[in-house]
Structure 1
Amino acid sequence: MQLLAFVLIYPFMWVISILPHRLFYGFSDIAFFFVYHVFGYRREVVQNNLNLVFPDKPKEEINRIEKEFYKHLCDTFLEMVKTMNLSKKAVAKKYRVVNPEVLLEIEKEKSIIILCAHYANWEWNVSINNYVNSKGYAVYQQVNNSYFDKFIRKTRARWNTTLITQGQTAKTVIQNFRNNVRATYGMVSDQSPQAHRAHYWTNFMGIKVPIFNGGEALARKTGLATVFLKVSKVKRGHYKAELIPIALNGKETEEHEITNTFLRLTEEQIREKPEYYLWTHKRWKHRDKKPAAFAKT
């Protein structure tokens, strides 16, 4: 069944990926109509998240953000499909990195952990590895369909990126560190961990929730540098990426310093243009489940 699904869906995706700009985003507009107006995909989740995070915003503004978010969500999904036929040169025009010298300078001395959020186009963030000389890795969620998973890993490899799962991350980083293999690791770090497995709780967008801090833990263990990737949507289909150093040596930071800096930079990004954040995720679902062990934090 997995092979059949791949054989049936792949040609459709390939055709979409080669459509010219106007037709490509025209198709996204059609997708928006069905996703937002007809099926109402996760609209209740989105509305609850927006009202929770922005309690002072009027209903009209919440509705505007919600609608613009769904338009962007459809664009993002189709831009992920477009990756199939997007060359290094083409992605560089659509996803412009304004200061790649930040990575080039740091990688002369050590490996780098790049922390980013589900903001703007996180799928094209892996193209950052086109600008570095070291080996590029990106942590991803493995696809259940093995054929699509293999295809995605092969596609990302064109951009100097090896995909690794969350379970493989610590082993890969530490092994490369011990073998003196210089590398760049991309991690989307704003997900919601399971409450009982969380090691850190703090405020995110004004609400106390469990926080992933695996990137910080690895940086503090190995002394790797950490950099925040700020992505802005310039216009439809075009993004600007800025690299903001957090810490040049993880071993020289205080506990939670890297994570807290990442969260504050992410919050600034969201408040500036909230419609480009991924509101369909239940990011704040554990807000009322804080264990007694964290009562004073």
Structure 2
Amino acid sequence: MKKIEHIIGYLFIRFIFLPFQFLPYEACLALGRMVVRILAPLAKSKIKIARENIEFAFPNLTEHERQDILKKHLIYLGEMIADSLYAPRIDDRWLKKYFVYENGAEELDEKITKEGLGVVMISGHFGTWEVLVHWLGLQHKGLGIYKKMRNPWADRWYRRLRENSGIQLVPTIESAGPTVKGLKKGRWVGFGADQNAGKSGIFVQFMNRPASTFQGPALMAYLTGAKMILISFLRGDKDKKVHVHIRDLGVVDKDKFPDRDDVVRYYTQMWTQALEEEVRKTPEQYFWVHRRWKTKPGDFEGQV
């Protein structure tokens, strides 16, 4: 029965994918927005999660202001769907047309590349991250850590589409070895590390609440001497282009800390705080519908 459900789900995704293979980019964005408007009444539980997350994150805003963030967030979700399905068509010509590098981001990208160090690239589920995946492949032939989809048919198909950009994707449970090897060879490795980490994470503050957070980015930077950066690809409000923001978080300073656990905690909180600062500037483009704070302190014995 499960296999049949997976096949039906896979075929449905392939059907939805069809118009995104030939429509112009702006038309794809409009189609994505329309899809969300149609599906929103069927996704009340997800909208409720988003509303509650926004309330916790912005307690000082008025109800009207929080509702405005939620409305803009639904528009963003539609455009994110469009980006996810359009992304396999992205090439160098598209990047030149739609990319806007902010605050010296292009020069910083070039500088970091020339340094030759491995790069722990942290993005979070913020902005148009599927475009980021393809950019990492096209520009840096990087390596990306990803969580497999529950539907194996959809997972295999979409992984192939992503890897056509030149990125090498490694499932989370198999990522330690390839990540260390890649960083030591000077490769860029992408981490979408802001999902709920469950019992394997450590708690750091994020948007006014303790959040179970993956240790991978900080730990890999510690083990390999790689540089940490935070990168965000944000949709322009008026021009609908992709605005690139890069923050250089430096390399791990082991001498400041007595042991590895302290290092990992400090740098995990550091990149999480940097992500929060970016989210607060453009809150509608964070992925509020996911249960980021599902795991709470005390849920698992011994978790810190």
Q: Report the TM range for the smaller structure's normalisation.
A: 0.7 to 0.9
- Percent identical across equivalent pairs? 17
2:255 and 2:139 map into 1 onto residues whose CA distance is 27
2:92 corresponds in structure 1 to: 88
Asked if 1:192 is matched to 2:196, the reply is yes
The within-5 A match list for 1:139-218 is 139-176=145-182, 181-194=185-198, 196-198=199-201, 200-218=202-220
Q: Are the equivalent residues in 2 in contact too, given 1:129–1:159 (CA < 8 A)?
A: yes
Deviations along 1:41-69, one digit per CA (max 9) or x if unpaired, are: 51211111111111121111111111110
The within-5 A match list for 1:125-144 is 125-126=132-133, 127-132=135-140, 135-144=141-150
The amino acid of 1:65's aligned partner reads I
1:87 and 1:14 map into 2 onto residues whose CA distance is 19
Q: CA deviation at 1:157?
A: 2.3
1:239 corresponds in structure 2 to: 242
The amino acid of 1:48's aligned partner reads E
Change (3 A) 1:158 1:291: closer
2:56 corresponds in structure 1 to: 52
Deviations along 1:136-173, one digit per CA (max 9) or x if unpaired, are: 11111212333432332222223221111111221112
Deviations along 1:200-252, one digit per CA (max 9) or x if unpaired, are: 22211121222212111011011111111133321364211122111235656
The amino acid of 1:71's aligned partner reads I
Change (3 A) 1:251 1:56: same
Q: Are the equivalent residues in 2 in contact too, given 1:18–1:85 (CA < 8 A)?
A: no
Q: What SS is found at the alignment partner of 2:234?
A: strand
Q: CA deviation at 1:77?
A: 1.0
Asked if 1:286 is matched to 2:295, the reply is yes
The normalised TM-score by structure 1 is 0.86
RMSD: 2.6
Change (3 A) 1:203 1:290: farther
Instruction: Say how many residue pairs are matched.
Output: 289
The structure richer in helix per residue is 2
Q: Are the equivalent residues in 2 in contact too, given 1:219–1:251 (CA < 8 A)?
A: no
Q: Are the equivalent residues in 1 in contact too, given 2:30–2:79 (CA < 8 A)?
A: no
Change (3 A) 1:7 1:189: closer
The within-5 A match list for 1:34-49 is 34-37=38-41, 39-40=43-44, 42-49=46-53
1:167 and 1:16 map into 2 onto residues whose CA distance is 31
- Give 5+ residue unaligned stretches, structure 1: none
Asked if 1:33 is matched to 2:37, the reply is yes
Corresponding residue to 1:230 among 229, 232, 248 = 232
Change (3 A) 1:171 1:41: same
Q: Are the equivalent residues in 2 in contact too, given 1:209–1:287 (CA < 8 A)?
A: yes
Q: What SS is found at the alignment partner of 1:42?
A: helix
Any runs of at least 4 consecutive aligned residues in structure 1 with deviations exceeding 6 A, and if so which?
none
Change (3 A) 1:4 1:230: closer
The amino acid of 2:131's aligned partner reads W
Q: Are the equivalent residues in 2 in contact too, given 1:88–1:159 (CA < 8 A)?
A: no
1:251 and 1:157 map into 2 onto residues whose CA distance is 35
Q: Are the equivalent residues in 1 in contact too, given 2:136–2:167 (CA < 8 A)?
A: no
Q: Are the equivalent residues in 1 in contact too, given 2:137–2:168 (CA < 8 A)?
A: no
Q: CA deviation at 1:281?
A: 0.8
- Give 5+ residue unaligned stretches, structure 2: 258-262
The normalised TM-score by structure 2 is 0.84
Q: CA deviation at 1:3?
A: 5.2
Deviations along 1:7-37, one digit per CA (max 9) or x if unpaired, are: 5642541223322345323323322322334
Q: Are the equivalent residues in 2 in contact too, given 1:223–1:250 (CA < 8 A)?
A: no
2:78 corresponds in structure 1 to: 74
